[in-house]
Amino acid sequence: MNPAALRELVPAVIGVLVRRGADFASAEDAVQEAVIRALETWPDGSPSHSSGGAEPVRDPKGWLIAASWRRFVDARRAEESRRGREVAVAAEPPPGPTPVTDDTLRLYFLCAHPSLSPASAVALTLRAVGGLTTRQIAAAYLVPEATMAQRISRAKRRIAGESFDRSGDPATVLRVLYLVFNEGYGGDVDLAAEAVRLTRQFAALTDDPEVAGLLALMLLHHARRAARTDAEGRLVPLAEQDRGRWDTGLIAEGVEILQAALARDRLGEYQAQAAIAALHADAPTAAETDWPQIVEWYDELLRLTGSPVVRLNRAVAVGEADGARAGLAALEQVDPSLPRYAAALAYLHERAGEHVRAADLYAEAARAATSVPEREHLTRQAARLRHPRP
């Protein structure tokens, strides 16, 4: 019973407490406290019968339910004595069936409720569905633990009136999971891997080709992670990545999931993005990339989303498929205020052989970059063009 296995029990145990009559917010708090207790007191990751004994508990889930319920009852009693009223909660839980998978699915919808801000939905999802502790989430997002705790309790207050039993729109959940995925590493938690795990679980609970599409997209991106940065942590662009370091197992899985989703003929943005990622994954070398087909997928994606960012990426793909001039022409349809506009323009000018102009644009793009790795990468691009190796 390692911490990861413990975390997997969390949504089901919250569900059990809610089925026994606890409100979601109190149930979630009680389970979080029990998890923290477990992490502190199970030195080998397994619960023991007593503090002195080393015999592991056979039923960690039963232990977690019992410990959480006890905490819930204690908290309720404390609350009621504060208010000077009689305790109305039974110390022994009422019996009843516990439809675990349904509860877990509902937790996804509740934690991604549209009334929550993206940051709150992410935090609540990581705690209640992912089973992470507040401290881990705070470390991953580089904010104080107290701030993260407040963010989570506010989120819970905001959805306090929402029924636990209502389903929602999978698209809201997908947005939250994709945000988590894009955080990558942080603190001691690998958020990208956690997002993959949560999306895998969500896909198993739902029957929606877009959920499969996002899972495929994540797997195909995750497969390239080792190749995306070099030994010194510098960004390596797709065309220069060592494709031998791509995880072929993840790619095969992603492609298979994507093909099954596409076969259902209900295309959505995540499937289209995954299709583009799959075409990159398919190419043995960067030169063998099927750019015309990638442009077609960008056309689909643009039709589905109308997103200016997609239009920008499409222009770069057009530059690969039909030459830099065509790419630059496509870029003329793009809003120049987009964060990566200058970077795309620089790249296409370099491809067109205009190195002086490209270097200036890379420098401009570096100033507009929103992340340190990107800024450093763009700065090096400018430096490379301004100081060509003899």
The alpha carbon torsion through 170, 120, 68, 71 (nearest 10 deg) reads: -150
At closest approach, how far in Å is the CB of 262 from another protein? 20
Distance CA 356, CA 310 (A): 27
Phi/psi for 12 (5° steps) reads -65, -40
- Least spacing, CB of residue 354 vs another protein, in Å: 23
Angle at 256 between CA 253 and CA 257, to 5 degrees: 85
Which of 2, 371 has the CB closer to another protein? 371
Q: How far is the CB of 227 from another protein (least distance, A)?
A: 11
Taking CA 378 as the corner, what is the angle to CA 376 and CA 379, rounded to the nearest 5 degrees?
60
| Both structure tokens of 118 | 């993206």
Closest approach, Cβ 371 to another protein, in A, equals: 4
Closest contact distance (angstroms) between CB of 325 and another protein is: 23
Nearer to another protein, 27 or 195 (CB): 195
Instruction: Point out which residues bind another protein (CB under 8 A).
Output: 117-120, 123, 141-144, 146-148, 150-152, 154, 181-186, 192, 221, 235, 237-238, 273, 280, 313, 369-375, 377
Q: CA 64 to CA 47: how far, in whole Å?
A: 9
Q: Which is nearer to another protein, 105 or 312 (CB)?
A: 312
Rounded Cα distance between 211 and 196, Å, is 11
Q: How far is the CB of 175 from another protein (least distance, A)?
A: 14
| Nearer CB in complex with another protein: 64/216 | 216
Q: How far is the CB of 143 from another protein (least distance, A)?
A: 5
Strand partners for 189: 186
Half-sphere exposure of residue 321: CA atoms within 13 angstroms, side-chain side: 17
Residue number, 20 or 156, with CB nearest to another protein: 156
How many CB atoms sit inside 10 A of residue 266's CB? 12
d(CA 128, CA 313): 35
Task: Report the residue number, 23 or 376, with the smaller CB distance to another protein.
Answer: 376
Instruction: Please give the DSSP secondary-structure letter assigned to residue 22.
Output: -
Name the residue nearer to another protein (CB basis): 65 or 124: 124
